[in-house]
Structure 1
């Protein structure tokens, strides 16, 4: 009689380190995004360099959107080699920080925001807008700030909802497949 482990080899890690290493990498990437947000010279953007500011914002947001669409496509095509849960989570973290940087830069222009003065304020406003809470303590007053806020709401509605739906689809298919594997043994 054959041992189950040799009859059905599983791609389980050989050591604890093999299991922990990928998670440490992912956490490290998320931490790097947060640290970069607080260390990048965002004070040099905004009204001092409007063309550079808008170009960076547009390029970064487009790259994140394309990468999110790619992950959604992997889920729809049921690519088993993809890890959409991890990648989509990191892309959401990145998109939050891209919008936060845009808000922080926009706040340097007089009249664009009321109550947004620090990077924490910008991050807070981004998360509050993403969660559709809207406490009213920070408000976009200028036209550019309102446009970016509307863009964030639309972006979240389209891309992040599609990404969350793709993740739900992937999880559902994984749950359905597990019992099938158990029956085939």
Structure 2
């Protein structure tokens, strides 16, 4: 039976792993074209690294969540990199190249775990002073990435392109290994700031719910008005997809949401003066709701602080 003191840590670990898996699964599903074996291998490896980081730094519950977001950004950049330059290198080479920097970061953090703990416990929070140093490693990484665009990759054979890809990702992994301490400390600091932000947002649940209640009430109210105008007036009240007719209730709800948010896609356009007057009233109500709603949220936030 686990100790009661371990239950919060287990929950934090489970939340971090769940967010990591969900984020990377969405990216993998959106990318497509990858075999399920590669996707599963990536997920298993990243979950293992996330678990390792959580064991090394259990006191920062949002550190692994911040790391998961960083992995998601890295996955998007890597996929764009592969689709632009290395579309035909094969899934195995793509998988190895993707995991090299992640493994290097995990290794660097593990080797420097005591130093990182010392920095975190003695200087927290000092995000501003470490912000520049945390991103200096991006300069050589960007240089390595740009070198692939100027290299004559199309002139070399398929096997040499694989070698070039693995060499480039290996060089990036070396940079990440050397900069792992600064990156880890920055992620921990960011995680703590995110934790403060999360606590502030948790205190705004009630006023935010009240705001959404008024928002939805206005949406429904004006949607019914758009429907009633069509029933009162014999002429078509809206131009919908190039056809003059009255909107259905679902279309009226959609148009009400679009109008209240002042987006105005143009797929539904009011034709009659009565409909235009109601649209103008809803726009004014939407602006007033946003002004007073944000004012109420900020006032509630200042009272809480």
Which protein, 1 or 2, shows the higher relative CO under an 8 Å CA cutoff with sep ≥ 6? 1
TM-score in terms of structure 2 length: 0.29
Higher helix fraction (1 or 2): 2
Give 1 or 2 for the bigger CA radius of gyration: 2
